[in-house]
Each structure stands twice: as structure tokens, then as C-alpha cells.
Amino acid sequence: MKVLSILGSTGSIGTATLDVVRHFPDRFQVVALAAGGNLELLARQVEEFQPRLVAVADEEKALTLAQRFPMLPVLAGEEGRLAVATYPQATTVVAALVGALGLPATYAAVQAGKELLLANKETLVVAGELIMAEARRRQCRIIPVDSEHNALFQALQVGPPGTARRLILTASGGPFRTTPLSELARVTPEQALAHPTWRMGAKISVDSATMMNKGLEIIEAHHLFGFPSEAIDVVVHPESRVHALVEYVDGTLMAQLSVNDMRFPILYALAYPERLASPFGTLDLVAVGSLHFEPPDEHRFPSLALARQALQAGGTAPAALNAANEVAVELFLAGRLPFLGIAELVRKVLEEEPAAPLASLEEALAADQRARARAREWGARLAL
């Protein structure tokens, strides 16, 4: 039985993970949960899964939850997230906190030698070199949970090590794949959140609309699988049924397909190296009918080039890219930045980020905070 700590239990990945656990109570046990401010949902999770430790965003929320569950240890803030990530009885940590918030706790889980199921791509974008080096030292297995990297992880199991030559990430193209360029300046947050094929949180939905999510995934794939940027391609695949492909040296392409449901990659990651019979349905290829692929329009989606630029620069540049994007998305969702201003703000911050190596978690976090401050300055200049 795998014993789980879940970072981000009330988010979309966290709730999907708990649904998988609900279907396999004899295979998975939950002992610790970390969440933000959705206390009602967290309380229901506590009642159902009976964790031994819970962490919430701040002291006030911790006090409220502790009054409801007086026998349950409830911690707050960074201290709480770190405690959940390193809970001694947990064998496996599901890292599903959104954004750079999850970095210290994820790093702590690796330092503690936990098996890491990684759904937070920003963690590897900000400090991938550090985390992967620590994972190798601790012999800590990292299994990606996001659908594209989970698909790559599966497809890479097919051939002997060293025989894959290219990774191919698929992108839906988001809600603006065919929107006339002249109309992009006027799109609203509501339109950006209307993803055509996936149900996701607000931040990742906007990242899909700008295709920054694919840019971040290029950086993540580089760290997870050791492929250079030029060996990681992106193709637009509107149906979102093929989640990624691996090309081997003999020209064979191995693709991973499934229903658009995050419970599929979560179940695979939780069960690995086994495969469990899924209760979540299967993909009907006849119903799908046809699959389409096209190259990404980098004029429409400049975030792809920005991400490759940050990866090539290395050091603290990816941390600056991620931080600037998080601030830009926040401003856009608040109605304070135009849609096209997201990439422009990120570009401005990247231009100002000094080339600096990354030697510690503290340096990664400092670069993150430095970029956020500059992003807010640029946000004020580019504001609606």
C-alpha cells in the first residue's frame, strides 16, 4: 500500500487524486493534506479520508479548522506545507500546489527521499537543476502527473534507454487557436477560461490560452528526461486525445492516448510500476473519428519562444519567466492587463533578468521574488 501526503488537496489535481484513492481504498491511504483556503471542501476531505495532519494557508483558517476537528493537528503556511511534505509515515507525496508556492515543500519531499508524483510544473521550471540533482542523490523517484509528461514517461518505457531521439508535446491550442489575431487584444478572462477540451483551474486555463503552459512543459521535460530544447517539439492537436509522443532512433513514434480525464495519469502514477484496472471509462476511437495535428503559430503564441529563450539562458532565467507569467496571469484575470500584455510583460521581465547561475533554493526563490516585483512594475505600465 502506498501512503500519501497531498500538497494541494482542494485543487483540481488534489480532488482527482482523492477520487482515485476513493476507488482503491485497499491500495492507497491518505495521511496528510495541505490546502489553501477552501475550508468547506477540506473539511469534507478530512471527514472522509481521516488524515493525521492537515495544513492550511494561514493561522486564522488553521484555528477555524482546528475548532471543528479538535483531535487533528492543523498547521499553517509554509511550516504546515513542509510538515505535510515530509510526514514520516508517507511513502509518496503528490505535489499539486499551483505555481511557485509549492517549490519549498516539493524540494523538502525530495530531500526526505519520498516518491514524488509531480503535478506542479512550475517547481521544475524554477529550480529543476537543483531538484533533479537532489533526487539523484536521494534516489528519489519522480513520476510526472500532468498529462503530457506522464504520457512521455509512459512512452519512454517502450525502448531501451538512449534510443529515444525526440519528445513531442501536444497542445490543444486553447480557445484562441483560430481567433483572428486582430481580436486577441480584446479577449476577456471569461473567454480565456473556456478551454475547449479540458476542465482546469483558472491559471492553467489562461496558460493554455497563451500556450505558456507548453513553454513551461518544454523546460520541465528538459529536466525530467534530460533532452535538450532542440529535441523537444510541440504540435497543436485540437482533440487532446494524444497527450504526447516519443520518436525513437528507428523512426518509430510511440503515442499515449486516453480520455481527457486527469484521473488516468494520476492512477498510472499512483500505481506505478503496476497498472490497475481503471473504473473511469476508456477512449472510443470510433467516436473520436479523426485526429488532427498542426504546427504552433509562434506569432500567435509568443510564449513558446520566450520559454525556449529562458531555458537556453539557464540559471535564474526560467524562475523569472515563471514568476512574471504568474503575475501577468493574475493581473489579466483581475481585468488589469490585456490578454496580449501577458507575453509582453514576461518579455520585459526576461530582458531585465541578469544572467546568474542557480546554486541554491534560496537563489531560486530570490530570483522569483525579484521577477515578481519587476512584473508588478511593468504591469502598472501596461495596465488597461
Least confident of 53-57, 99-103, 251-255, 372-376: 99-103
Return the ∠ at Cα 380 (arms to 377 and 383), rounded to 5°.
Answer: 145
Half-sphere exposure of 53 (CA within 13 A, CB side): 23
**Model confidence band, residue 69 (pLDDT cutoffs 50, 70, 90):** very high
Q: What is the pLDDT at residue 198?
A: 66
Q: Residue 314: is its pLDDT beyond 80?
A: yes
Alpha-carbon radius of gyration of the chain:
20
Q: pLDDT tens digit string along 171-184?
A: 999 899 999 999 99
Q: What is the pLDDT at residue 204?
A: 85
**Model confidence band, residue 37 (pLDDT cutoffs 50, 70, 90):** confident
Return the ∠ at Cα 379 (arms to 326 and 125), rounded to 5°.
Answer: 25
SS3 of residue 355 by DSSP? coil
Kindly report the number of other CB atoms within 10 A of residue 292's CB atom. 9
CA 63 → CA 44, 46, 73, 198, 309, distances in Å?
Answer: 17, 15, 10, 36, 45
Q: What is the pLDDT at residue 188?
A: 93
Q: Is 172 in contact with 237 (CB distance < 8 Å)?
A: yes
Q: Residue 195: is its pLDDT beyond 90?
A: no
Half-sphere exposure of 314 (CA within 13 A, CB side): 10
Q: Is 2.60.120.260 the CATH classification of the domain at 314-384?
A: no
Cell representation of residue 374: 519587476
Domain boundaries, the chain: 2-144, 146-306, 314-384
Q: Percent of the chain scored above 90 by pLDDT?
A: 89
- Mean pLDDT value across residues 270-284: 95
C-alpha torsion 44→270→54→129, nearest 10? -140
- Which of these, 44, 121, 32, lies nearest to 72 by C-alpha position? 32
- Mean pLDDT value across residues 63-79: 96
- Mean pLDDT value across residues 340-351: 96
Q: Residue 155: is its pLDDT beyond 80?
A: yes
Q: What is the pLDDT at residue 99?
A: 75
**Model confidence band, residue 199 (pLDDT cutoffs 50, 70, 90):** low
Q: What is the pLDDT at residue 203?
A: 86
- Mean pLDDT value across residues 41-46: 98
Structure pTM? 0.93
Residues constituting the chain: 384
| Average pLDDT of the chain to the nearest whole number | 94
Cis ω before 273 (30° cut-off from 0): yes
Q: Is 134 in contact with 198 (CB distance < 8 Å)?
A: no
- Mean pLDDT value across residues 82-106: 94
* Per-position b or e across 358-371, b if 16+ CB within 10 A of its CB: beebebbbebbebb
Q: What is the pLDDT at residue 100?
A: 78
Instruction: Give me the CATH code for the 2-144 domain, please.
Output: 3.40.50.720
Q: What is the pLDDT at residue 135?
A: 97
Q: Residue 384: is its pLDDT beyond 80?
A: no
